[in-house]
Structure 1
Amino acid sequence: MSGETVRSGPCVVVAGGGTAGHIEPALALADAVRRIRPDVRVIALGTERGLESKIVPARGYQLELIPPVPMPRKPSPELLRLPLKVRDAVRRTREVFERHGADVVVGFGGYVALPAYLAARGRVPIVVHEANARTGLANKVGARFAAAVAAAVPGSGLPGARVIGIPLRQSITTLDRAALRDEARRYFGLHPTAPCLLVVGGSQGARSINSAVSAAAGQFAAAGIGVLHAHGPKNTVAVQQVPYAPAYVPVPYLERMDLAYAAADAVLCRSGAMTVAEVSALGLPAVFVPLPHGNGEQALNANPVVDNGGGIIIADGELTAQRIGEQVIPILRDPERLAKMGAAAQSGGHREADVVLARMVLDLVRR
């Protein structure tokens, strides 16, 4: 973590802490920067409470901790203390920049990015990347004085943003689903040739998805469709297996997401920005069930893929076993439709986003 630094090559600071949706693109960029210029030093900003405290060191990058600056959602005493918290976080962030000799700061939104943008303003060039269809507060601020702005999809609301997609880790962008299919099916105990639906509701699962899909188990069996269902570590899904039908395999968590993607012919999932980017890059037909909370950004994330023909959307409140029988099962039983949807999804995907953003960053370093 913190300490004296021996400087060698140029230094890129990535600010994307808090959630996996901010951290994973930041680390995918870091990997791409190092592949292009191995002499570059990458420093990640984060907080003690964020997922980055575990993920970043495990991926081999140095993590510098700064005070968190969460934005209160409602008027409260915390709101009155916010200016002091911001000032302290900015001061600590500037110390990190000076200690490491930061040459460029790349922000991905969230409560780590805001102090980074304010600390870098007028001192260090800034690159902003917005993953969601609707831009968050931190990136709106950072984009005002950024040297370069990138977005995952058109219409993010950031003027002049270059649409590049979301940087994804190389284990996803180089995944050969067809080559791994047999191994993946054996790994999960799935039928070797039957159509297979992958079901994921996020890292913690989703009760509405779990209930609707498990209730349709008999329909899947009758249609000759296998299911790989990640229900979340705190949830359970009890499904009675039907003899002589493809297996319905419930698992708490998917340690091998690469094999899960390789085993699947289609996926039923939420439509967070990272999920949409991954399934699109891989050419997986998708049934998106947007999270019903928040500002509606999950539906917006899925719209470009759906408009392109690579997926469909079913509202969370409308996801039932009957709806699955009417809309999802026919897709899995139609190889030609699956192929067309997969091609459409992949045509709108961005497998090279990590390299494109890395070159934008390194161009500023060269300048």
Structure 2
Amino acid sequence: MSRPVSVVLAGGGTGGHIEPMLALADALRRRGDGDIRITCLGTARGMETRLVPARGYELRLIPPVPLPRTPTLDLLRVPGRVRRSVAETRAVLDEVGADVVVGFGGYVALPAYLAARRARVPIVVHEQNALPGLANRVGARLAARVAVTVPGTPLRHGEHVGMPLRTAIGTLDRAARRAEARAEFGLEPDRPTLLVVGGSQGAASLNRAAVAAADALTAAGVQVLHARGPKNTDVIVPPRPAGSAPYVVVDYLERMDLAYAAADLALCRAGAVTVAELSAVGLPAAFVPLPIGNGEQRRNALPVVHAGGGLLVEDADLGPAWIEAQLLPLLTDPAALAGYARHAADAGVPDAHERLADIVLEVASSERR
């Protein structure tokens, strides 16, 4: 080929779109040896303005096209916004000589799909959640290939590929890193360990339940690594009595790979990236789906739960009594934990970023023939 393959990635807005986009970008960059040009699309108000340049990728900004959830006067402005965003996106595609557009859903993906269609650039869609959003439902009708994270996702011609993951997660050997990880967080080397994490900002219901169960857990010899969220400074656990297991509270986990390596079980939400990461590294979890929205978090977790790699508890049912009745016996039963871990790993796809990179380069190569 006389010029580098030009891949345009559209996945701005939230971390759920950006992280898999960057995982794919990293996989392509490792293969490219200078022969792949990667351009990311985003908006000025998204997290991508910080995350994409920090990873060393070119970011081009386009106008977002938010769709009102209810009929309002703002709905009348949508066609004009779409036309402007598609025109600006088309200009970027022409400038970089795009060979393929890869969309991950959200405000950025819809104009990228429409612009690619007009420019006759092939499209690859990746859907992270069990219930696809509007952008990817449109994109799937225009795409050359459609990749999904969760089996059975209702998108036309969807191929189960899994969730593209960071290298540190996709290649993590939990057993080999366990001693290092527990030392990093001030945990003891040989106690069963519960990881409590409610996302980057924490989750109030998880925080309340875990803290209320602290005495029962640590008295039984279970140590806890609890990420409360940077704003939840009221979540405090008093020092443990002599002989009790540690209960370590942190604001935020910069090294999720080490947190996963330190843990035997997680208590967490069921966002698409979280579910995919946990299953990829073989860490079983008690999933607590977010009690608002369209139920997608529950659907995200179900394949892992049905495979025997985790438990599911509704947010309203989570409390210290549930933790003591359901998690404490599991955490103190090494054989049962090992079984859950094996089933979680069986449900995981640690090489999804490579699978998606194969698809993207196949589509791009077909276009250049």
TM-score tier by shorter-chain length is over 0.9
Residue 200 of structure 1: aligned partner: 197
How far did residue 196 of structure 1 move? 0.5
240-249 or 107-116, larger mean C-alpha shift: 240-249
| Alpha-carbon RMSD | 1.0
Q: Which amino acid aligns with 1:294?
A: G
Contact (CA 8 Å) 1:110, 1:136: kept in 2 or not? yes
Render the CA deviation track for 1:94-120: whole Å, top value 9, x for unaligned.
Answer: 011011100000001011000000100
User: Which of 78, 101, 104 is matched with 1:105 structurally?
Assistant: 101
Say whether the 8 Å CA contact 1:271–1:291 is kept in structure 2. yes
* Structure 1: 4+ residue segments shifted above 4 A: none
TM-aligned CA deviation for residue 332 of structure 1: 0.5
Aligned residues: 361
Q: Residue 258 of structure 1: SS of its match in structure 2?
A: helix
Question: 123, 126, 142: which one pairs with 1:126?
Answer: 123
CA contact (8 A) 2:219 2:245 kept: no
Correspondence 1:38-117 to 2 at 5 A: 38=33, 39-117=35-113
Cross-structure match for 1:4:
none
For residues 121 and 209 of structure 1, what CA distance do their matches in structure 2 show? 44
Listed as ranges, the matches of 1:1-367 within 5 Å are 8-38=3-33, 39-122=35-118, 123-236=120-233, 237-240=235-238, 241-367=240-366
Deviation string 1:316-342 (CA, Å, 9 cap, x unpaired) is 011010010001111111100110000
The amino acid across from 1:141 in the alignment is: V
Q: Percent identity?
A: 60
**2 CA distance for matches of 1:74 and 1:232?**
31
**CA contact 1:16–1:112 (8 Å) conserved in 2:** yes
TM normalised by structure 1 equals 0.97
The unaligned stretches of length 5 or more in structure 2 are none
- Find the aligned partners of 1:308 and 1:118 in 2 and give their Cα distance: 38
Aligned-residue offset at 1:62: 0.3
Quick one: distance in 2 between partners of 1:328 and 1:140? 38
Indicate the residue corresponding to 1:3 in structure 2: none
Secondary structure class of the residue paired with 2:266? strand
Partner of 1:144: helix, strand, or coil? helix
DSSP-derived class of the 1:309 partner: coil
- Contact 1:117–1:142 at 8 Å: present in 2 too? yes
The one-letter code sitting in structure 1 at the alignment partner of 2:227 is A
Q: CA deviation at 1:310?
A: 0.1
Letter in 1 for 2:96: H
User: Is contact 1:17-1:112 (8 Å) kept?
Assistant: yes
Match for 1:102: what amino acid?
A
Gaps of 5+ in 1: 1-6
TM-score normalised to the size of structure 2? 0.96
Structure-1 separation of matches of 2:255 and 2:359:
31
- Give the AA of the match of 1:351: P
The alpha carbon displacement at 1:8 in A equals: 4.2
Which deviations, in whole Å up to 9, do the C-alpha atoms of 1:62-81 show, x marking residues without a partner? Answer: 00000011111112222111
1:280 aligned counterpart, secondary structure: helix
Mapped contact 2:141–2:156 kept (Cα < 8 A): no
* d(CA) in 2 for partners of 1:74, 1:160: 30
| Counterpart contact for 1:221–1:242, Cα < 8 Å | no
How far apart are residue 12 of structure 1 and its match? 0.2
